[in-house]
Amino acid sequence: MLTLLKIRNLALVDELVWELGPGLVGVTGETGAGKSVIVGALKLVLGERADKSLIRNGEDSCTVEAVFELTDAAEIDAVLADGGLDPCEDGSLIVRRVIGQSANRQFVNDSPVTLALLKRLGEHLVDLHGPHDHQSLLSTERQLAMLDAYAGNDAALDGYRNAWRAWRDKLTELEDLRDAESASAQELELLRHQVEEIDAARLKPEDEDEIADRYRRSSNASRLVELSGAAATALGADDGGVLSHLAEVQRLVRDLEKLDPAIRELTQGLEGAVMELQELESSLADYAGDLDIDPAEAKRLEERVNLFESLKRKYGGDLAEVLAQRERAAARLDAVENRGERLEQLAAEVAGLREVTEKAGLALSAKRKKAGPKLAKEIAGQLKDLGFKQSSFEVQVLSNKEPAMSGLEGVEFQFGPNPGEPLQPLRQIASSGEISRVMLAVKSALADQDATPLMVFDEIDANVGGEIARAVGRKMAALGGRHQVVAITHFPQVAALAARHYVVEKEVAGGRTRSRLFPVTGEPRIAELVRMLGGGGESAKAMAVSLLEGP
């Protein structure tokens, strides 16, 4: 339920902290006192767009914060997960809107969110109804959802929708192939050439670097032999090579060491340097001897490297991309050459999935057709309690021409308030008083199936009075046994049935007008009911007391 609502600098409200309880919560007050601000604040929580005109005069921003405690947060957590947010902790959800002069922001559990995500959350949190807020009830899609909820069709509907999506996806694939242009002879020839050319190269991406290295050595073999031979000669022990000079150095060092043994600390690295240079001379000689000057091999490697470069210029930046292009060309070629066969295969798959969809749809339809009369009877009974003693109500099932995502049929709620007159779709009912009571009857019939934690009724008892208003109050109180219900009302018959009663009034302080909300019990509550009854005196007070005591 909604446990806390904080409002700051919204319209006439400078600051309001409202701690709500369970059951039916009544909100009353004189016209213009500011009851609409409560509804406006809740609409902001639900993700309704807002502008700076809502900000209290003289302030920079206004803030609305709502705290919900959820017994089952599964649906809310799923919406949060879609938005990349963490799930609720201990079932607690905090929604905050900040409306500024230049920008608006919204937060859920202190994380910034989009207005679209807040709107999705709001659909699961609050069901708000005012004299003109009945679009959801008038929507045939919403009516079908209500019937499915009443019938407990969740599993059957999920099974049907899975089948329907599989059928539609396959049908789209078939239609795309049918609509695709057939390939020209030139395109087919080009595709075959690409596949054959790449296949003929017998490419292995991992061989590219090795072959490039081998080609580099082969093409420079003569120069490599020349350079390595010259380096070995320069190091040689004969003919003035480096090693021949080092032999003289070694002789001189030995003579030094005989005269001064301490010099060995300076000369000890000489022997190692001589040995390393000898090994280097030997290695260079071996390297030169191993070089194979084979013009035929060099030519073959050159041709292979040139082929690599040519394919990369045609099909991609490296051999991996060349092979990827080969797969794309082969797939396109296969699709074109086997188009007829693929069309037949897809058509058969579509027919099979259509059959599965219709089978699942018929099972869902049977549940709907069985539940429709029961729901209509339940709503009709609720309507009689609300003053429509001789009204009629039907849930009409209408078959679709083609399977839709919602099933093989739609529904139309039809209502006849007066005997002897034909039933009409709800959307054709002009009276706001009638449609408000029909909405309340539907909500009452579906109270056990409706998972929305908070229901708000904003003066839906308008245009009714007397015993009908009392009946409306009783229905709201009964809904309060299953949901948290906030009723903003002008009728004492409704307010008297609330488990908690709050009054909104205007006051002037420091030259400024502000709205405030406070609870009333005992004598102050009786006084508020007397005001609502329209007169003072003992008779009005006795009437107020009798309303509180019940029938």
40 belongs to a structural domain? no
How many domains are there within the chain? Answer: 1
Phi, psi dihedrals of residue 67, rounded to the nearest 5°: -115, 120
Assess contact for 90 and 473: CB atoms under 8 A.
Answer: no
How far apart, in whole angstroms, are the C-alpha atoms of residue 251 and residue 500? Answer: 114
How far apart, in whole angstroms, are the C-alpha atoms of residue 324 and residue 316? Answer: 9
User: What's the pLDDT at 335?
Assistant: 74
284 belongs to a structural domain? yes
Alpha helices, DSSP H only, in 338-453? 339-385, 432-445
Q: pLDDT (tens digit, 9 = 90+) per residue, 197-230?
A: 988 888 887 777 777 777 666 666 656 666 766 7
pLDDT bin (cut points 50, 70, 90) of residue 132 is low
218 belongs to a structural domain? yes
241 belongs to a structural domain? yes
Higher pLDDT, 137 or 474: 474
* pLDDT > 90 in the chain, percent: 22
308 belongs to a structural domain? yes
How far apart, in whole angstroms, are the C-alpha atoms of residue 465 and residue 342? Answer: 69
Mean pLDDT check: name the lowest of 215-229, 355-369, 414-428, 512-526: 215-229
152 belongs to a structural domain? no
User: What's the pLDDT at 277?
Assistant: 81
Query: Whole domain around residue 276: which residue ranges?
Result: 185-337
DSSP states of 78-89: HHHHHTT-PPPB
Average pLDDT over residues 358-375: 95
How far apart, in whole angstroms, are the C-alpha atoms of residue 329 and residue 312? Answer: 15
Is the predicted pLDDT of residue 541 greater than 80, yes or no? yes
User: What's the pLDDT at 34?
Assistant: 76
Query: What mean pLDDT value characterizes the chain?
Result: 83
User: What's the pLDDT at 21?
Assistant: 85
Give the pTM.
0.62
pLDDT bin (cut points 50, 70, 90) of residue 303 is confident
Q: pLDDT (tens digit, 9 = 90+) per residue, 150-160?
A: 999 999 999 99
Is the predicted pLDDT of residue 293 greater than 80, yes or no? no
Assess contact for 236 and 244: CB atoms under 8 A.
Answer: yes
293 belongs to a structural domain? yes
Assess contact for 371 and 151: CB atoms under 8 A.
Answer: yes
Is the predicted pLDDT of residue 431 greater than 80, yes or no? no
pLDDT bin (cut points 50, 70, 90) of residue 136 is low
pLDDT bin (cut points 50, 70, 90) of residue 533 is confident
CA dihedral 307, 308, 312, 314 (to 10 degrees): 10
330 belongs to a structural domain? yes
pLDDT bin (cut points 50, 70, 90) of residue 96 is very high
Is the predicted pLDDT of residue 430 greater than 70, yes or no? no
Average pLDDT over residues 74-88: 85
Is the predicted pLDDT of residue 375 greater than 90, yes or no? yes
Is the predicted pLDDT of residue 346 greater than 70, yes or no? yes
Q: Give Dmax over CA atoms of the chain in angstroms.
A: 140
Residues 6+ apart with CB under 8 A from 394: 376, 413, 414, 423
User: What's the pLDDT at 156?
Assistant: 95
Assess contact for 507 and 514: CB atoms under 8 A.
Answer: yes
User: What's the pLDDT at 120?
Assistant: 85
CA distances from 312 to 193, 204, 209, 322, 325 (A): 15, 13, 14, 6, 10
User: What's the pLDDT at 394?
Assistant: 93
Assess contact for 107 and 117: CB atoms under 8 A.
Answer: no
User: What's the pLDDT at 90?
Assistant: 82
Q: pLDDT (tens digit, 9 = 90+) per residue, 225-250?
A: 667 667 767 777 666 678 777 777 78
Is the predicted pLDDT of residue 134 greater than 60, yes or no? no
Q: Return the residue matching tokens 């502000």.
A: 514
Mean pLDDT check: name the lowest of 65-69, 505-509, 533-537: 533-537
pLDDT bin (cut points 50, 70, 90) of residue 393 is very high
Q: pLDDT (tens digit, 9 = 90+) per residue, 159-201?
A: 999 999 999 999 998 887 776 666 667 878 888 899 999 888 8
